[in-house]
Amino acid sequence: MNSVLPIYYQIKQTIKNWIINREYLPGEKIPSENELADKFKVSRLTLRQALSHLIQEGFLVSRRGEGTFVTEDIHLINRYNFEFRGLLDDFFFAQISEVKAKSVEMNRILVPKVIREKLDLGAEENEVIQVKRVRYLRDRLLTYSINYLPLEIGKKIKERDLYERPMLQILEQDLKILFSEAVQTIEASFADPEVAEKLAIPSGAPVLFIERIMYIKNKKPVEIFQSYYRGDMFKFIVRYKNVKIKSGSRWVHQHR
């Protein structure tokens, strides 16, 4: 168990993942409290706390005298199973269509040192536009994202547009910025207090962190995109194929 997170929360997430991954099918009875407490090596009180939260969230249904069962609400289960299948370009552009912002904060701030370096700003450029958004996939809270833009670009963006349209689309279509390349980093991380509050998860809970730097010609960086995704709603699947070559074989990404 992770020492940072409450034990009951870790158990809750484990059982939820079992349900999402269909290790227990909709309508199926799960093991008894005694069996689960023994499996996780915790007290029944701790186990019951985890189950209670899953019942409140709708993943489990308790039936007096019968036991505890997985919900038959397939739509609820599927909403938590946010998958990208294929290559990283699927993940890069997936936000375009279905992810919408529910809150937007847009501010002019003094440029942090690390952002100055990544945007390659001049010594006289002391401010940037920072955009913070909490975004949903359909009706499920998915990601907390932060954008950093040079002042001359960021001040042209209208806050109201950020509720319905992704930043990338606004930059390309409205501001006519022609991007030439991007560098994207994906890594496992933990939620700090700010991220935890925005994503409605405990501080220290696992999250997927993505940073993308967008470049125009001559490798000039003009946008930094950082996003924290809830770990319980994300799955990335890459399919490989064993291809025969003259010297033997090798594994390659398989397109859809």
CA distance 164 to 68: 40
Residue 192: Cβ within 10 Å count? 12
Which residue's structure tokens are 């936000």? 95
Q: Check: CB of residue 171 under 8 Å from CB of residue 223.
A: yes
Model confidence band, residue 87 (pLDDT cutoffs 50, 70, 90) = very low
Q: Are residue 102 and residue 203 in the same domain, yes or no?
A: yes
Average pLDDT over all residues of the chain:
86
**Residues 221-230, mean pLDDT to the nearest whole number:** 93
Helix (H, G, I), strand (E, B), or coil: what is residue 240? strand
Give CA 24 to chain center in angstroms. 24
| 75/139 same-domain check | no
The verdict on 74 and 86 lying in the same domain is no
Q: Which of 62, 79, 96 is the last residue of a domain?
A: 79
pLDDT of 86 > 50? The answer is no
Which among 58, 79, 100 is the end of a domain? 79
Contact (Cβ atoms closer than 8 angstroms) between residue 179 and residue 192: no
- Quote the number of domains for the chain: 2
User: How many Cα atoms within 13 Å fall on the side-chain side of residue 186?
Assistant: 10
Check whether residue 44 and residue 88 sit in a common domain: no
CATH code of the domain in which 36 resides: 1.10.10.10
pLDDT 10s digits, 19-52: 988 899 999 999 999 999 999 999 999 999 999 9
What's the mean pLDDT in 231-246? 74
The single residue listed with the structure tokens 């990601």 is 143
The helix (H) or strand (E) run that includes residue 194 is helix 193-199
Token pair for residue 234? 């994300």
- Give the structural domain span for 53: 7-79
Q: Are residues 132 and 53 in the same domain?
A: no
> If pLDDT is split at 50, 70 and 90, which confidence band does 253 have?
low
Q: Are 148 and 177 in contact (CB under 8 A)?
A: no
Predicted confidence (pLDDT) per residue in 151-198, tens digit: 999 999 999 999 988 898 899 999 999 999 999 898 989 999 999 999
- Tell me if 68 is assigned to some domain: yes
This prediction has a pTM of 0.68
pLDDT of residue 90: 43
pLDDT of residue 240: 79
For residues 109 and 147, what is the distance between their CA atoms, to the nearest angstrom? 12
